[in-house]
Amino acid sequence: EAQVTQNPRYLITVTGKKLTVTCSQNMNHEYMSWYRQDPGLGLRQIYYSMNVEVTDKGDVPEGYKVSRKEKRNFPLILESPSPNQTSLYFCASSLSLGGGRAGPYNEQFFGPGTRLTVL
């Protein structure tokens, strides 16, 4: 089944304790992205990756890191989490147009979400 998986689904942690949220897709998509969703603020892009070893900042990258060593995986790293990073996080992937035109030009497939609470 074509899907995007995220782990963990729920996480409660304390300020400053490094954590990683994993994201994996089995659709051979080039484009992957991380979003956070907060009440009243909507879905905001944190980081995105157009292909392996290519990552770029989205609208709200502060306090986050990502890596794209393999096409299928795109982990989100919080080196020193703070309470303002309490949020619902979504990973998404998309097939690019081809011909070198990478980007979310087709539908994005979203993961089930990770609800993170930082105390």
Partner 1 sequence: SQKIEQNSEALNIQEGKTATLTCNYTNYSPAYLQWYRQDPGRGPVFLLLIRENEKEKRKERLKVTFDTTLKQSLFHITASQPADSATYLCALVPLWGNTPLVFGKGTRLSVIA
Interacting residues toward partner 1 by CB under 8 A: 4, 31, 33, 35, 40-45, 48, 50, 56-59, 90, 92, 96, 101-113
Please answer whether residues 29 and 93 qualify as being in contact, where contact means their C-beta atoms are separated by less than 8 angstroms. yes
Question: Which residues, 6 or more positions from 20, have their beta carbon under 8 angstroms from its beta carbon?
Answer: 75, 76, 77, 78
12 or 41: CB nearest partner 1: 41
50 or 116: CB nearest partner 1: 50
73 or 96: CB nearest partner 1: 96
Q: Least distance from C-beta 85 to partner 1, angstroms?
A: 19
Q: Least distance from C-beta 89 to partner 1, angstroms?
A: 10
**What are the two backbone dihedrals, phi and then psi, of residue 118, each rounded to the nearest 5 degrees?**
-110, 120
CA 98 vs CA 57, 66, 92, 103: distances in Å:
22, 24, 18, 9
